[in-house]
Structure 1
Amino acid sequence: MASELHEAIFVAKQERHKNLFLNYRNLSIFPVELLKDEGLQFLERLYMKRNSLTTLPDSLAQKLPNLIELYLHSNNIVIIPEAIGNLAKLQSLDLSDNALQVICPEIGRLRSLRHLRLANNQLKFLPPEIGDLRELETLDVSMNLLSWLPERLHQCLSLQCLTADRNHLHGLPRQLCQLQSLNELSMAANCLASLPLDLGRSRELQFVFVDNNVHLKGLPSYLYNKVIGCSGCGLSAQVPDSKLLSLALGEVAVPLPAEVKTVGSETERVVPLEELAIRALYHICHQHTKELSLLPAFLLPKSLLDVLLCPLGHCHRCSQPMFTIVYPKLFPLRETPLAGVHRRTTVSFVAYCCSSQCVRTFDLQG
């Protein structure tokens, strides 16, 4: 077995191969032959799946500087070295099915990375530096121990597919709604009780899977015309007209995000002063700067600046940004086809409006 390994590496060096397959070799340590002398400067793709590796060498980037793809699926890797950040050309990294407990912040230096797969590890959190991966298109962190996703994830402007199934997620940062390129979002088998109000507002988001989140009682109405998977979600019976508007008097049928401090009633037409002030400031900022990010940070407390940069949601009828108050309207259940599945399921949708007047005139079919 060892002689076959040596021969494969020797031939790769002699013939300057760009691809090297070392899958199923029962390797417990990284082959030193790959790191001798100048290494394999010409190697672009290294496949080392289904081995028994526990770590990676610090000199990996120095000896294999032109790596574009690195596949380490199904090993026993516990930690990856900080030097991983030196693989400047790396576009695809697969560390699925390992024993990772921590991802080092240096992963944010992989500015060419397009595909990152970390499924089936023991990760309890992701470093905020993942937000520095501006070229990232695919992120798979399913089957870990995550209870939250980093807010800076919304800075991954190229992200198209985000998968975080089978974690311990209790909520999603509302900043995810700013991912304008996101096409598929999969959060099945978590502990979600609500979803960001603006989720689905981007036309690019077409596939949303939230199966087996048993506490999730409704989906934002922006998802109405999307392909959704939601078995295990939704209410079990039709909702009478009298409960279409959730009240603050114990009749809230849909869990609301923690940021929502006040819920208006059907007869209450006065928006709280706090909400009016923030809406006015938001419009002034847009009018004079055109870009909220240009607003000098020292003019506002950081918490307020964060709210202005990312409103809680937008009115589903008039697109008015909302910050501290929403008027939810629950629509009766409808049948929704699941992607690639013949059976059908039912789900309730919720419209979030900026005033009681808006919520009374909102029609989901419109």
Structure 2
Amino acid sequence: MASELCKTISVARLEKHKNLFLNYRNLHHFPLELLKDEGLQHLERLYMKRNSLTTLPENLAQKLPNLVELYLHSNNIVVVPEAIGSLVKLQCLDLSDNALEIVCPEIGRLRALRHLRLANNQLQFLPPEVGDLKELQTLDISTNRLLALPERLHLCLSLQYLTVDRNRLWCVPRHLCQLPSLNELSMAGNRLASLPVDLGRSRELQYVYVDNNVQLKGLPSYLYNKVIGCNGLYSLTHTPWSSARRQATILNTEDAVSGCGIPIQLSEVRLLTFSSGQLTVFLPAEVKAIGTENDHVLPLQELTMRSLYRTYHRLWKDLNFLSPISLPRSLLELLHCPLGHCHRCSEPMFTFVYPKLFPLRETPMAGLHQRRTSIGFVAYCCSTQCLRTFNLLC
């Protein structure tokens, strides 16, 4: 077997092969023949699935500098060495079905990486450096022990498919709603009790799977007609995939009108502004309703955040200028990523929302799932006015 392996590698070196298949070889150590002399400088794809490897060599990138794809599915690897970050051309890395406990921060140096598969391991966390993978399109971290996702994951602007099934997640970072390319999100079999208010607001996100999250009682209304799998529902895995995809339609959010509440009259503008240096903030007209009996006034902190948000983004869009805003870190973070947006008018919401429940039995999904659940959709509005006029079923 050893002589046959050496012959295979020698032929690959001599004939400058780009692909090398070493699957099912019962390898306990990385073959020294691969690392001999200059290594395999022309090799682009290395397949070493279903062996018994426990580690990778430190000089892997030096001996195999042109690797584009590395498949190590079903081995016994516990730790990926820091040297993995030197494989600068790597686009696909498959470490599924190993014994991984740690992913080194150097993985963030794989700037060309497009597909990363870490399913069926023992991972309890991912390093924040995953957010440096700007070209990453697919991330599969299902069947691990993750309690949370890295906050910087929303910086993976090319991410299209995110699979986090069968972990221990109890929440989903609302920043994930900002991923511009995310098309499919699967979080089945976790411990989720709620989902971000804005989840599904993006036109790109079409498929969301949240089966078997027993504490999940309500779904954000932006997922209406997008949800494929829900807690306790009849599983769509029994439906042909093409048919299941036809059930999911894209929610058009462009029909929503920006702005909310009582419109500001031009004659009132001067009374509803304050200035500080180059920064002018327009106060919401709702401020005039303080003390009246007919209108519910939001907390001043919420009104202030909404006004700052509009001013902040207007300056950035029109003048490419950002005035320094002195806010506590938590509020400054909210300013960049609101808690959610009103489903009626798209007004950003920061500290205060008005929820409205729509039971599943009143939606088109009811017949599909044979009324086997009490789960519903929750619409979040920014004011009593929007709450009264919004109807998810229209």
TM-score normalized by the length of structure 2: 0.80
> CA separation in 1, counterparts of 2:82 and 2:308?
43
Query: What is the aligned counterpart of 1:350 among 378, 382, 388?
Result: 378
Q: Residue 282 in 1 paired to residue 309 in 2? A: yes
> CA separation in 2, counterparts of 1:291 and 1:352?
29
Aligned partners of 1:122 and 1:145 also within 8 Å: yes
> CA separation in 1, counterparts of 2:151 and 2:386?
30
Query: Which residue pairs with 2:283 in the alignment?
Result: none
Q: Residue 315 in 1 paired to residue 360 in 2? A: no
Report the Cα offset of residue 304 of structure 1.
2.0
Letter in 1 for 2:172: L
TM alignment of 1:1-366, pairs within 5 A: 1-232=1-232, 269-290=296-317, 295=322, 299-334=326-361, 346=373, 347-366=375-394
Who wins on radius of gyration, i.e. which is larger? 2
| SS of structure 1 residue aligned to 2:360 | strand
Report the Cα offset of residue 302 of structure 1.
2.5
Q: Deviations over 1:130-152 (max 9, x none)?
A: 00000000000000000100111
- Alpha-carbon spacing, 1:155–1:26, altered in 2? closer, same or farther (3 Å): same
- Alpha-carbon spacing, 1:343–1:34, altered in 2? closer, same or farther (3 Å): farther
Q: Deviations over 1:302-354 (max 9, x none)?
A: 3222111100000000100000011000002236669xx99786541110001
| SS of structure 1 residue aligned to 2:157 | coil
Aligned partners of 1:217 and 1:233 also within 8 Å: no
- Alpha-carbon spacing, 1:122–1:348, altered in 2? closer, same or farther (3 Å): same
Letter in 1 for 2:354: Y
- Alpha-carbon spacing, 1:291–1:24, altered in 2? closer, same or farther (3 Å): farther
Letter in 1 for 2:76: N
- For the aligned residue pairs, the C-alpha RMSD in angstroms reads 2.2
Q: How many residues align?
A: 332
The runs of 5 or more residues in structure 2 that have no matched partner are 235-293
- Alpha-carbon spacing, 1:342–1:36, altered in 2? closer, same or farther (3 Å): farther
Residue range with higher mean Cα deviation, 143-152 or 298-307: 298-307
Report the Cα offset of residue 365 of structure 1.
2.1
Report the Cα offset of residue 84 of structure 1.
0.5
TM-score normalized by the length of structure 1: 0.86
Q: Deviations over 1:18-47 (max 9, x none)?
A: 000000000011001111111001000000
> CA separation in 2, counterparts of 1:49 and 1:292?
54
> CA separation in 2, counterparts of 1:104 and 1:337?
43
Residue range with higher mean Cα deviation, 345-354 or 180-189: 345-354
> CA separation in 1, counterparts of 2:184 and 2:296?
38
Aligned partners of 1:13 and 1:40 also within 8 Å: yes
> CA separation in 1, counterparts of 2:341 and 2:364?
24
- Alpha-carbon spacing, 1:294–1:219, altered in 2? closer, same or farther (3 Å): farther
Report the Cα offset of residue 88 of structure 1.
0.6
Letter in 2 for 1:316: H
> CA separation in 1, counterparts of 2:320 and 2:193?
31
Higher helix share: 2
| SS of structure 2 residue aligned to 1:290 | helix
Letter in 1 for 2:212: N
Letter in 1 for 2:311: I
